[in-house]
Amino acid sequence: MTWPPLREELRGLAPYGAPQLSLEQAPVQLNVNENPYPPSAACVADIARAAGEAAAGLNRYPDREFVELRAALAAYLGQDGGRDLTPAHVWAANGSNEVMLQLLQAFGGPGRVALSFAPTYSMYPEYARDTLTEWVVGHREEDFTLDLDHARDLVLERRPSVVLLPSPNNPTGTALPPEAVGLLCEAAGDGLVVVDEAYGEFRRAGTPSALELLPDHHNLVVTRTMSKAFALAGARLGYLAADPAICDAIRVVRLPYHLSAVTQATALSALRHTDELLAQVDELRAERDRTVAWLREQGLTVADSDANFALFGTFDDRHAVWQALVDRGVLIRETGPSGWLRVSMGTPAEMGQFRTALTEVMKEMS
């Protein structure tokens, strides 16, 4: 056997992750859909105080059921379309990535299928691989919306135990209409339909959250994160809302005390500053709409976006465009179908630098 004795199917694979360049190499970082606005001074002070209090008790394990945090998350979701959610309807982990891995650990596994529709979030096949779940992927329309007949047929044919549907989708920004969620929940039977709303707070006016559909479908799971709209990517806190039986089942596979006392205290403090943290979301949504319009004025094709990023193209050599932008200090993401690039929304100044750099690069390459 070769050393180290890694699982056969993992040999030679690279760990997931976008290139992380230093601020010196790329002062304008628009590549991982972070919120460009740091938490306010008041929020930082509150987090520091709460983390300090938690530190005084770090000789003890944290609350394994994190009931206070689940109650605060349930209350927040109640402001954004959730109805009658209690702590028992909510589960959390270290980022929604961990929440989704736990879902696959509990509901996937050998002999079971997880399904999504490409292009979509590139972590999904990794959760499947890591839990020995078969990965099945359908396709999206040219404009990245779902072909509902194809989607339903594939669900009925492959009977997935978990369907992963980001809304808005990453990297395209495409939101799912509620009819699509309802239809797929029906088709999935007792399989779970996970609507990954990592970017839910950025959705355009008139786009409802799948949270509103929870009372109608026992198999619907809606995941959220504090990493994007809440400007808390560094804290690692993701969560879900679902039927309490689903939360209960996840408890079987979670590691003991997976959510540290410091993480719980940090998230609780941040939730006390919800209005402040979300204040920049409207600005970022406006920046998104301006950026999409500007890119289209440049003659580029841009996917409609309900998220804090835009997917645009197409370029014969997207890597050359990406590199030329990096050379000008602007880091975006080379992702999605070939020829496309994705830019996250930054501050107005950062977006100005992005526009200047892209204009130069396109002129140079034409």
Q: How many residues bind ligand PLP (CB under 6 A)?
A: 14
Binding segment toward ligand PLP, per CB under 6 A, in 181-189, 227-235, 315-323, 349-357: 227-235
- Write down the least CB distance from residue 239 to ligand PLP, Å: 9
Nearer to ligand PLP, 96 or 145 (CB): 96
* CB 178, min distance to ligand PLP, A: 19
Burial of 339 (0-12, 13-18, 19+ CB in 10 A): middle
Q: What is the longest distance spanned by two Cα atoms in the chain? A: 63
Nearer to ligand PLP, 82 or 95 (CB): 95
Distance of alpha carbon 275 from alpha carbon 39, whole angstroms: 11
Question: Which residue, 69, 33, 123, is CA-closest to 267?
Answer: 69
201 touching ligand PLP, by CB under 6 A: no
Considering the rule CB under 6 A, would residue 200 count as an interface residue with ligand PLP?
no
Residue 121 binds to ligand PLP (criterion: CB under 6 A): yes
Using CA atoms, how far apart are residues 62 and 58, in angstroms rounded to an integer?
8
Mask for 133-172, x = binds ligand PLP (CB under 6 A):
---------------------------------x---x--
Please tell me whether residue 93 binds ligand PLP under the rule CB under 6 A: no
Residue showing the smallest CB distance to ligand PLP in the complex: 95
Tell me: does residue 97 bind ligand PLP (CB under 6 A): yes
Give Cβ neighbours of residue 71 (< 8 Å, ≥ 6 apart). 86, 87, 90
10-18, 133-141, 220-228, 283-291 -> range binding ligand PLP (CB under 6 A): 220-228
Q: Are strands 90-93 and 341-344 parallel, antiparallel or unpaired?
A: unpaired
Tell me: does residue 209 bind ligand PLP (CB under 6 A).
no
Q: Please, which of residues 24-43 interact with ligand PLP by CB under 6 A?
A: 33
Structure tokens at 366: 């034409």
| Rounded CA Rg of the chain | 21
Please name the residue ranges forming H helices in the chain.
41-55, 67-78, 96-107, 124-130, 148-158, 178-188, 244-253, 261-272, 274-297, 318-327, 348-365
**Residue 225 sits in the site that holds ligand PLP (CB under 6 A):** yes
Q: Kindly indicate which of the ranges 60-68, 153-161, 224-232, 281-289 contains the residues binding ligand PLP, using the contact rule CB under 6 A.
A: 224-232
d(CA 23, CA 40): 21
If one asks whether residue 196 binds ligand PLP (CB under 6 A), the answer comes out as yes
DSSP state string for 158-187: H--SEEEEESS-TTT-PPPPHHHHHHHHHH
Per CB under 6 A, the list member of 29, 35, 96, 263 interacting with ligand PLP is 96
Binding of ligand PLP at residue 119 (CB under 6 A)? Answer: no
Which residues are near ligand PLP by CB under 6 A? 33, 95-97, 121, 166, 170, 196, 198, 225, 227-228, 233, 238
